[in-house]
């Protein structure tokens, strides 16, 4: 099997993921990166060891373990390797259904464990400072509406970018429907500050948006604002407000989850609002909440305070 034939099989698999399973372009792009890495690793094998002109079906579990070790030595961590193995595993299942492989060499391979980093979140004061920096020009009014929505409703970047003007009536009434991962629809509440900011954006949007544009948030050319531009505008706002860390959309999502959990303690409600399929994904915010409680304890408990020198 030539390199071009391997690439053709990868492309056929990715086309199926995109068209039939309707995975997001971002997910398909990640799978492509991981499968291209697999193709490169196979091509680097000696010709007598399944490499060179070998097919995917010649690869055995020891090869996969060797590939993981190679990637790990290049600096890939446990999470990145886990994602790569997941992509390879799914690809081999697909090959098996098509007769391209007699077994799945990835099934018994697990990535090395790596410490789970806590998501970075702003403090309530930092979030207030970020959102207090609104300007009065058209783009600043738009940005304020976007950033308030991120923090108010815990939206993902792609979810916010995909919002259409058709959601406006529902949004101003206090909720918005978004299509999350795996095309899962959920309804999330929208707070009063976010509703006010979106309401203020309606008139400027009419001045900017092309006549046939359905997007709620548009750029200077009148078309739907891309995710990269949203990221850049938020990072710029954070710098202008003097925040210590680079602010990105997922940080506002983390801040939303952490602050709601600190106030309510309702993990299930936060899970629903974030659209997590598993409660385990939401439980990471209990660690953030514990950090907050530990700080309060250190400051307030008489036995926790350091004695003055």
Assess whether 301 carries a catalytic annotation.
no
CA distances from 97 to 7, 13, 61, 106 (A): 18, 12, 19, 15
| Catalytic site includes residue 285 | yes
Catalytic residue among 32, 66, 186, 250: 250
Could you tell me if 168 and 198 are in contact, meaning their C-beta atoms sit under 8 angstroms apart?
yes
181 is catalytic: yes
Contact between residue 64 and residue 70 where contact means Cβ atoms under 8 Å apart: no
Termini Cα distance of the chain? 74
- DSSP 8-state symbol, 135: -
Q: How far is CA 224 from CA 1, 165, 194, in A?
A: 43, 11, 20
User: How many CA within 13 A on the CB side of residue 198?
Assistant: 28
Type and span of the H or E element at 146: helix 138-153
CB 258 within 8 A of CB 288: yes
Question: Is 31 tagged catalytic?
Answer: no
**From 224, 233, 253, 259, active-site residue:** 253
Query: In the structure encoding, which two tokens stand for residue 129, read together?
Result: 């400072």
| Polymer length in residues for the chain | 309
Q: Among the options 83, 120, 223, 276, which is catalytic? A: 276
Catalytic residue (one of 6, 63, 142, 156): 156
Contacts of 107 (CB under 8 A, 6+ apart): 61, 89
Cα 259 versus chain centre, distance: 19
**Catalytic-role residue among 181, 186, 223, 292:** 181
Q: Is 129 a catalytic residue?
A: no
Active site residue 236: no
Annotated catalytic sites, by residue?
156, 181, 250, 253, 276, 285
């Amino acid at each position: 099997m030539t390199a071009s034939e391997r690439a053709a099989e990868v492309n056929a698999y990715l086309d199926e993921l995109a068209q039939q399973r309707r995975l997001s372009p971002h997910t398909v792009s990640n799978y492509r990166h991981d499968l291209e890495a697999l193709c490169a690793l196979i091509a680097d094998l000696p010709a007598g060891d399944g490499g060179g002109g070998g097919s995917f079906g010649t690869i055995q579990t020891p090869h996969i373990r060797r590939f993981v070790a190679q990637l790990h030595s290049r600096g890939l961590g446990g999470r990145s390797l886990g994602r790569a193995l997941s992509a390879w595993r799914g690809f081999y299942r697909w090959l098996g259904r098509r007769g391209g492989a007699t077994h799945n060499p990835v099934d018994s391979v697990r990535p090395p464990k790596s410490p789970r980093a806590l998501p970075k979140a702003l403090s309530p004061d930092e979030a207030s400072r970020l959102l207090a920096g609104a300007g009065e020009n058209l783009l600043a009014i738009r940005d304020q509406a976007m950033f308030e929505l991120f923090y108010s409703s815990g939206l993902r970047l792609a979810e916010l970018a995909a919002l259409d003007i058709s959601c406006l009536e529902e949004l101003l009434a206090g909720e918005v429907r978004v299509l999350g991962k795996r095309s899962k629809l959920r309804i999330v509440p929208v707070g009063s500050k976010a509703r006010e900011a979106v309401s203020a954006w309606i008139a400027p949007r009419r001045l900017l948006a092309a006549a046939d544009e359905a997007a709620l948030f548009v750029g200077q050319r009148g078309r739907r604002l891309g995710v990269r531009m949203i990221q850049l505008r938020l990072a710029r706002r954070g710098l202008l407000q003097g925040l210590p860390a680079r602010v990105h959309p997922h940080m506002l999502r983390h801040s939303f989850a952490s602050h709601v959990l600190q106030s309510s303690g309702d993990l299930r409600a936060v899970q629903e609002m974030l659209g997590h399929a598993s409660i385990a994904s939401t439980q990471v915010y209990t660690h953030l909440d514990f950090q907050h409680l530990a700080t309060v304890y250190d400051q307030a408990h008489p036995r926790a305070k350091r004695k003055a020198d």
